[in-house]
Amino acid sequence: MIKSEIYTKVSLFIHRFLNKSLTTRELIFFLAIVFCLSPLGSPPIALLLGFLIAQSIGHPYLDWNQKATQYLLQFSVVGLGFGMNIHSAIRAGAEGMVFTIGSIFFTMLLGMSIGKWIKVRPKTTYLVSVGTAICGGSAIAAISPVIKAEEKEISTALGTVFILNSLALFLFPLLGHWLHLSDIQFGTWCALAIHDTSSVIGAANKFGPKALEVATTVKLARALWILPFTIFSLLLFKNQEAKVKWPYFIGFFIIAMVLNTFVPVLIPISKILVLLAKSGLTLTLFLIGSGLSGKVLRSVGIKPLFLGISLWILISSGTLLVILRFIH
């Protein structure tokens, strides 16, 4: 239903474009998309351009932005799988598993403690902690109906996570080069310390191809924790009516890696799919930036933002120290 609605709106947009009946705001938005998909575009520039549009003319299609971003990101992740080797991915996932488990549980414990200390609403604290621990907006979207979170609590958690994701996309590559991290170290650090998959992949892709492979694999292994945390949340908040959603796109990502590794005849097609996936990721970040409206930013509040920043700094620095100690 939602997919067909997006398809209908895209078709309507194309029809209006061909008939030259777009508004000025829609035309600027369309030209910004073209720029992001051109050789001049890049994930950080796309995110910044989207943010500038959100603060100036506003997103002309804000009502379907979240779903469009979700599907586009999933397509991009699966496409990136066609550029990865399953054996390397398994090694990276196995090496990052211990760090992943440790960081998730430590983040949740720390987040709930800080939230209680500064008196942030319990469900907001839980959502910000889950978003930081697992995979940002995806985790918040999956957990919020399970704990019966209010719209204000969801907006606050999403706004906090999106603001920090935007900063991470610019800061992490700079810090990685400044600290002389290897591709494996940086990829692991991105996967553990940045919230959303889109920003993890964007930062790692800017650093190097090996960093991208490690970051994507470890991050998606981290994203699988959505399922057990959803079940845990059902029990914790005693909501028996909620449905548990499985991130099926991760299974397609694994299939893509298997095909790329064992079916060499697909290599020419795989290269095209990887290029399309990277373009899709750039467009995803543009849509995320254009969704950061003034309303979203104002909904965050000082205390939840302090919670998110404190948790992010502690987890980023803590995981970095562990990585520097154990990964060479």
pLDDT digits (tens, 9 = 90+) for 59-86: 888 888 888 888 888 899 889 889 888 8
Higher per-residue confidence, 27 vs 297? 27
Cα(276)–Cα(157) distance, integer angstroms: 31
Q: Tell me how far apart the alpha carbons of residues 328 and 181 are, in angstroms, rounded to a whole number.
A: 9
Q: How many domains does the chain have?
A: 1
CA-based Rg of the chain, rounded to a whole angstrom?
Answer: 19
**Which residue would you say has higher pLDDT here, 283 or 155?**
283
Cα within 13 Å of Cα(47), Cβ side: 17
**pLDDT greater than 80 at residue 296:** no
The tens digit of pLDDT for each residue in 268-279 reads: 899 899 999 999
From CA 10, how far away is CA 7, in angstroms rounded?
5
Contacts of 126 (CB under 8 A, 6+ apart): 112, 115, 143, 147, 233
pLDDT of 293 strictly over 80 = no
Mean pLDDT of 29-34: 91
Asked if pLDDT for residue 18 goes beyond 50, the answer is: yes
Helix runs in the chain, H state only: 2-18, 24-37, 43-55, 65-81, 86-118, 122-133, 136-143, 151-178, 183-193, 197-207, 209-223, 226-237, 249-262, 267-290, 294-298, 302-326
Measured in whole angstroms, how far is the alpha carbon of residue 5 from the centre of its chain?
23
CA distance 148 to 234: 10
- CA pair distance 103, 147, nearest whole angstrom: 22
Residue of 122, 129, 177 whose CA lies nearest to 148:
122
Q: If we measure between CA atoms, which residue out of 93, 98, 75 comes closest to residue 252?
A: 75
Query: 157 and 140 in contact (C-beta within 8 Å)?
Result: yes
Q: Which two tokens stand for residue 205?
A: 């892709």
Alpha carbons within 13 A on the beta-carbon side of 89: 23
**Mean predicted lDDT score pLDDT of the chain:** 85
The pLDDT, as a whole number, for residue 241 is: 65
Q: How do residues 103-147 score in pLDDT, each as one tens digit?
A: 899 999 999 999 999 999 899 999 999 999 988 888 888 888 888
* pLDDT value, residue 9: 60
The pLDDT assigned to 173 comes to 94
The structure tokens listed for 175 are 């810090």
Token representation of residue 245: 């959603």
Mean per-residue pLDDT, 134-161: 83
DSSP structural state of residue 19: T
Judge contact between 114 and 310, C-beta under 8 A. yes
Q: What is the domain range of residue 19?
A: 2-326
pLDDT for res 306 = 92
pLDDT at residue number 1: 47
- The per-residue pLDDT for 15 is 58
